[in-house]
Amino acid sequence: MKDIPLKERIILALDVETPEQARELVKKTESHLGFYKVGLQLFMADWFQTVDWLVDRGHKVMLDLKFFDIPETVKLAVAQLRSHGVSLATVHGNDPIIRAALEEKHGHDPVH
């Protein structure tokens, strides 16, 4: 069983319309929380800017984009997250899709 730090036990969903609203919410809660979810609406508003801002402030990010495509495309999408410090990402699909995402996440090591 992992010992999860108290600040990371709750993931606050930044389900707001604008990056400005998200940043305001983070600033109000970051003294107690350290893990935030960026969903499709917020991500589309400014792409990786909010994700990068959160990571730069020392927070963990769950990117909830529900990747679902052919395995190679999902693998390439997960690879894009590495340079942005994303801690979790949502992936939907069958076994080959999930395996491709895990393979990329784990640096091309076989996944069992």
> Could you give the residue numbers annotated as active site?
66
The DSSP result for the chain, as a single string, is -----GGGSS-EE---SSHHHHHHHHHHHTTT--EEEEEHHHHHHHTTHHHHHHHHTT-EEEEEEEE-S-HHHHHHHHHHHHTTT-SEEEE-S-HHHHHHHHHHHTTT----
